[in-house]
Amino acid sequence: MKLIEYYESALERLKNDCIQCGKCVFGCKAMQALPEAPDPRRTQADILDFLRGGASLSASALLKTRACMRCYGCLDLPCPIKVSSLQINELIARELHRRGDLPWDGPTYPVHKEKVEKLCSAAERQRITRPVANPDASTLFFPGCNVYKQPDKLLNALEVLDAIGEPHSFAPGMKYCCGSSPRGMAGDVEWVQGAAGKLFAYAESLNTKTLVFWCPTCLSMLQDRIRHFYNPPFECLSFGQYVLAHLDRLKFPAAVPQRVAYHEPCKNAYMGIDPDSVRQILRAIPGTQLLEMEHHGKDTLCYGCTAVDSHPETGEKATLRRLLEAKACGADTLITMCHNCNWIFTPALKARGKAHGLTFSIENLSTYLTKAMGIARPDSLL
């Protein structure tokens, strides 16, 4: 099946078979966090009207799409026609795109390029932007595109791979893309399928046996969408899983006496992807004590993600709620895996930390790990 058919089929089921029970609205984690959630059945009726050709989206239907945090927390909702709340939001975006109301000309990555230019040396720029096809490698590392807004995290991840010492090839982000980000923003499903197809064709051309994803969103995208039209002939691992499998190769010369809490990528947690690798890595660092926040594992909370921009009332509330949980558990450092969590958390901590007594620091796993290995690279967000 092609990705486009996957969406077309969901659209047909929605238009013809939806019973307007409202579970997809009621069960959405963003809707549940709103002080006054819209009426679920009415909202779904408005969405169906729009998807069937109605002139415009009602305020509540628009709210549902804008407040979406893209947390993937709705994939298991008991929809009788098997359409997720996220997929409905994507179909709305696709319809807006089709009508010319959500213009998009393809990714241009202006912020990513500016950060790479500003924060990297010439050698570092080359390292993270050029493909590497290593004939001795069966592993391909793909960082995704979004981490280029914080190239220090990517450079740290590469330091870890170098320390592990297994030969690997490299598929640079921006040149390659899993297709995730523009799909949701602009509903251009054809572009998404093409982008993902290009990445996997490159992986196959290298006879890849293991594709290591840095970005948790890419991994969720693969699991939830891409596997509908492409069954990879290689193993797909998270960065954490790959590091854990080679942890004995990493040396930690000095203890890192920190109490850390781990904010896991909600998408992966809700989907049951890689539940434990980062926790095991953190426990292996001498001196590091792992604490748990009130919500963790499958019960974790999203930090707001895309809703921080598209619907700040929802997004910023989610960010603060998570920071307050980190404070409550007594951590010195809040560890993230996903760089985008840093992108949102770190400025929020700077802006609101004093008012809420938030005295801990925030570090990406790549920063914490390389520091423990004796490699110091400043966090570009600090």
CB of 354 to ligand SF4, least distance (A): 29
CB of 29 to ligand SF4, least distance (A): 4
Spell out where the chain has E strands: 139-142, 168-170, 210-213, 235-238, 259-263, 289-291, 333-336, 361-364
CB of 179 to ligand SF4, least distance (A): 17
The answer to whether 338 contacts ligand SF4 (rule: CB under 6 A) is no
| Among the residue ranges 18-26, 172-180, 200-208, 256-264, the one whose residues contact ligand SF4 (CB under 6 A) | 18-26
Which string of x and - marks every residue 33-62 that binds ligand SF4 (by CB under 6 A)?
Answer: -----------x------------------
For the chain, state the CA radius of gyration.
Answer: 21
**Could you say which DSSP state residue 204 is in?**
H
Contacting residue, 3, 11, 30, 358, with ligand SF4 by CB under 6 A: 30
Do 298 and 25 form a contact (C-beta atoms < 8 A)?
no
Structure-token match 């939001």, residue found: 89
Site for ligand SF4 in 70-109 (CB under 6 A): 70-74, 79-81, 83, 85-86, 89
Instruction: Name, in order, each residue with C-beta under 8 angstroms of 261's C-beta and a sequence gap of 6 or more.
Output: 290, 291, 292, 293, 325, 326, 329, 331, 333, 334, 335
The answer to whether 11 contacts ligand SF4 (rule: CB under 6 A) is no
**How many alpha carbons fall within 13 Å on the CB side of residue 380?**
22
**Using CA atoms, how far apart are residues 313 and 298, in angstroms rounded to an integer?**
24
**Using CA atoms, how far apart are residues 277 and 280, in angstroms rounded to an integer?**
5
| Among the residue ranges 27-35, 127-135, 179-187, 361-369, the one whose residues contact ligand SF4 (CB under 6 A) | 27-35
Contacting residue, 11, 28, 93, 211, with ligand SF4 by CB under 6 A: 28
Tokens matching residue 267: 């998408």
> Toward ligand SF4, which CB reaches closer, 11 or 323?
11
> Toward ligand SF4, which CB reaches closer, 18 or 63?
18
Do 115 and 330 form a contact (C-beta atoms < 8 A)?
no
SS3 213: strand
Contacting residue, 3, 22, 222, 279, with ligand SF4 by CB under 6 A: 22
- Secondary structure (DSSP) of 161-200: HHHH---EEE--BTTB--SHHHHHHH--HHHHHHHHHHHH
| Among the residue ranges 67-75, 100-108, 139-147, 243-251, the one whose residues contact ligand SF4 (CB under 6 A) | 67-75
> Toward ligand SF4, which CB reaches closer, 7 or 200?
7
Contacting residue, 18, 177, 273, 338, with ligand SF4 by CB under 6 A: 18
CB of 365 to ligand SF4, least distance (A): 23
Identity at 71, one-letter amino acid code: C
CB of 153 to ligand SF4, least distance (A): 24
Contacting residue, 8, 9, 21, 34, with ligand SF4 by CB under 6 A: 21
CB of 12 to ligand SF4, least distance (A): 12
Do 371 and 380 form a contact (C-beta atoms < 8 A)?
no
Identity at 236, one-letter amino acid code: C
Size of residue set near ligand SF4 by CB under 6 A = 26
Contacting residue, 63, 68, 269, 326, with ligand SF4 by CB under 6 A: 68
The residues with which 236 forms a beta bridge, in sequence order, are 211
**Using CA atoms, how far apart are residues 28 and 181, in angstroms rounded to an integer?**
20
> Toward ligand SF4, which CB reaches closer, 11 or 116?
11
CB of 374 to ligand SF4, least distance (A): 39
The answer to whether 24 contacts ligand SF4 (rule: CB under 6 A) is yes
Instruction: Name, in order, each residue with C-beta under 8 angstroms of 257's C-beta and a sequence gap of 6 or more.
Output: 287, 288
Give the residues lining the site for ligand SF4 (CB under 6 A). 14, 18-24, 28-30, 44, 68-74, 79-81, 83, 85-86, 89
